[in-house]
Amino acid sequence: MKLGLAFGDFSWPVPAGELGPTIIGLARQADDAGFDSLWVMDHFFQISLSGGLPPESPMPEAYATLGVLAGQTRNIRLGTLVTSVAYRHPGVLLKTVTTLDVLSGGRMYLGIGAGAPFNRPPQGPGTAFETEGLGIPFPALATRFEMLEELLQVAHQMWNGDETPFAGKHYQLMRPLNSPNSVQRPRPPILLAGAGEQKTLRFVARYADACHLPDLPGTRYEIDLKHKLDVLRRHCDDAGRDYAQIEKTTAAHPDFGDDPATGAAALLTRLRELSALGFDHVMVAPRGPWTQARIDATASILAEARTLGE
């Protein structure tokens, strides 16, 4: 099993000027420890699912952060968990991810999804209030799924080096030039997040290299992971796709509390459960921000995690 670290809580008690060195130090520690991947949340305001933090809690922009981390690490894979299709035009997004793949020596994922409307004030309307706050259009879910499929088609075309015009319902690219193209061939892996059975998992089977099932046990976002993987398998059969080719990822949310070692032991138990279900890459997203002690504790189970699924 692969093990990654997800950075979603940036509420370290440090001045803004020390936020960069804090993130860089932890990323270097994770890289040196041999973790497989490092992920940053792609939100503009903090979201309520991150331990009930207020929207004013620090939230650095994802791709600027990844650009810094790409230059400060050497081996660890990088990506967003995940970018909403509504946030960036696909041509710009693909150019950004490609550039990071080139400059990092081929270490990027494209983490993408339709976007969820859970980021809202506690009693506010059912729309993503960070997009309202910054004036970013956030269409209805059905429209976002149309946009998502077009973005996935553009991704394949640009990474294939095909510069012919793309004419979709939502996007029109007259010359999708992508130079230099990605170091990873045929493309940086496309990780598609979401658990929708009719569209998201069907899109995974048709376009993606990895799925991400965002399970949050004990909340209304808890899902039947085995059932979702069974649905994905059926979509792969329908699409003529080898189910085994798709990387199955999810997140684990340990509570390290005052004793990181105890939290790491509980995490290992959860990893065994996830491996038995068929997952081969887990992103660890703890309650609260990462610390050196928490990374050390998680690294202590890395070798055993590697044996899971063998």
CB atoms under 10 Å from CB of 94, counted, come to 25
Query: What predicted TM-score, i.e. pTM, was given to this entire model?
Result: 0.95
Chain-centroid distance of CA 306 in Å reads 21
Mean pLDDT across 129-149: 91
Q: Per-residue pLDDT for 120 more than 70?
A: no
Pairing of strands 247-252, 281-284: parallel
Higher pLDDT, 67 or 119: 67
Question: With pLDDT > 70 as the criterion, what percentage of the chain qualifies?
Answer: 95
Higher pLDDT, 24 or 217: 24
Highest mean pLDDT pick, 162-166, 217-221, 262-266: 162-166
- Say what the pLDDT of residue 67 is: 98
To which residue do tokens 């990181």 refer?
Answer: 260
pLDDT digits (tens, 9 = 90+) for 48-91: 776 678 888 999 999 999 999 999 999 999 999 999 999 999 99
Q: Per-residue pLDDT for 122 more than 70?
A: no
pLDDT digits (tens, 9 = 90+) for 251-294: 999 999 888 999 999 999 999 999 999 999 999 999 899 999 99
- Say what the pLDDT of residue 215 is: 81
Mean pLDDT across 177-206: 97
DSSP per residue, 237-296: HHHT--GGGSEEEEEE----TT-HHHHHHHHHHHHHHHHHHT--EEEE--SS---HHHHH
* C-alpha distance from residue 27 to each of 20, 90, 162, 189, 306 (Å): 11, 28, 35, 21, 20
Mean pLDDT across 12-38: 97
